[in-house]
């Protein structure tokens, strides 16, 4: 039996095992996905031990998406540009290769389910952390016409803007002065790439009067499924409002393909995720 698993700290909250084990079952693949909770001081030793013990592939989550890179033999150029890895393939000779499927998963969901092409799109992103880096690199690579950024930590937004400008000169990269400044850019797509909205007491940082009927709002949060941002977007008649479940699903499907070179059974994985998410 092949073993795959998620490295993080903590990992108990993760839905990846549910999604991947459902996929293995549906395709009759003799494999199991486990959760590997590793303490920060043990990361190198535990990771190397799991590779030598025969684990075939990993996902990586908070707080190790950046830290794991120095222990890998090879890094996919997109993961290098994003500066984070969420998927690792272990080859037959036990060499390891890191990928990032967060941004490409987001794009796959956008194209296949939301029905929107990133090409020519004007995009505004709240937050400039790991998820924003992955999503913005893929949007720029897929020819978004402009990307506007705002993060409460302005140095983070500036660093991401500089990176995007250097690698994607055809994409217009701008910094907004606050959340409403993102809406004043009149985007086609507004993305929340912050944890804001996960807690009940979180307030809306946008003035909903600035929402418009052509705007698509995409909140990367998937739990809760309905954030205040998504509720307000629907109430104001925005074109569409999506939570992060689709990104979670498609990043998992792309990881599955990297590990096994087999198309992932998306519907099965989605059903397994929806079942568990309606219970939380």
Catalytic positions, written as ranges? 65
176 in contact with ligand NAP (CB under 6 A): no
For residues 95 to 134, the per-residue mask of contacts with ligand NAP, x marking binding by CB under 6 A and - elsewhere, is: -------x-----------------------xxxxxxx--
| Strand blocks (E) in the chain | 2-8, 31-37, 57-60, 74-75, 87-90, 96-99, 122-126, 146-150, 172-175, 189-192, 216-219, 240-242
Minimum gap (Å) between residue 166 Cβ and ligand NAP: 20
Please give the residue whose beta carbon sits closest to ligand NAP in the complex: 129
- The correct pick among 107, 108, 248, 273 for binding ligand NAP (CB under 6 A) is 248
Element (H, E) at 104: helix 102-109
Which parts of 133-172 interact with ligand NAP (CB under 6 A)? 150-153, 156
Minimum gap (Å) between residue 201 Cβ and ligand NAP: 13
Sign of CA dihedral 131, 205, 149, 125: positive
At residue 116, the 3 state secondary structure works out as coil
Residue 1 has which token pair?
């039996």
Is residue 75 within 8 A of residue 21, CB to CB? The reply is: no
What is the DSSP-derived secondary structure letter of residue 111? I
- From the list 88-96, 110-118, 217-225, 254-262, the region that binds ligand NAP by CB under 6 A is 217-225
Q: Which is nearer to ligand NAP, 56 or 194 (CB)?
A: 194
d(CA 29, CA 100): 24
Q: Which is nearer to ligand NAP, 51 or 163 (CB)?
A: 163
Q: What does the binding site for ligand NAP look like in residue numbers (CB under 6 A)?
A: 102, 126-132, 150-153, 156, 193-196, 198, 205, 220-222, 244, 247-248, 251
């Amino acid at each position: 039996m092949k073993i795959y698993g998620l490295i993080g700290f903590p990992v108990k909250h993760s839905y990846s095992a549910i999604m991947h084990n459902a996929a293995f079952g549906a395709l009759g693949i003799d494999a199991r996905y486990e959760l590997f909770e590793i303490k920060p001081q043990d990361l190198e030793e535990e990771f190397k031990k799991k590779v030598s013990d025969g684990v075939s592939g990993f996902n990586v989550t908070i707080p190790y998406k950046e830290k794991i890179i120095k222990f890998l033999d090879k890094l996919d150029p997109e993961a290098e540009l994003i500066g984070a890895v969420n998927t690792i393939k272990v080859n037959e000779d036990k060499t390891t290769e890191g990928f990032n499927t967060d941004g490409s998963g987001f794009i796959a969901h956008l194209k296949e389910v939301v029905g929107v092409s990133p090409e020519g799109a004007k995009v505004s992103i709240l937050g400039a952390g790991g998820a924003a880096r992955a999503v913005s690199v893929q949007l720029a690579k897929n020819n978004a016409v402009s990307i506007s950024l705002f993060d409460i930590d302005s140095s983070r937004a500036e660093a991401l803007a500089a990176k995007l400008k250097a690698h994607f000169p055809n994409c217009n990269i701008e910094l907004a002065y606050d959340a409403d400044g993102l809406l004043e850019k009149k985007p086609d797509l507004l993305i929340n790439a912050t944890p804001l909205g996960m807690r009940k007491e979180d307030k809306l940082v946008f003035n909903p009067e600035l929402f418009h009927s052509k705007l698509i709002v995409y909140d990367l949060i998937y739990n809760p499924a309905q954030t205040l941002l998504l509720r307000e977007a629907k109430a104001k008649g925005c074109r569409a409002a999506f939570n992060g479940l689709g990104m979670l699903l498609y990043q998992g499907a792309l990881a599955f393909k990297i590990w096994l070179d087999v198309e992932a059974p998306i519907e099965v994985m989605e059903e397994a995720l929806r079942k568990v998410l309606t219970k939380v």
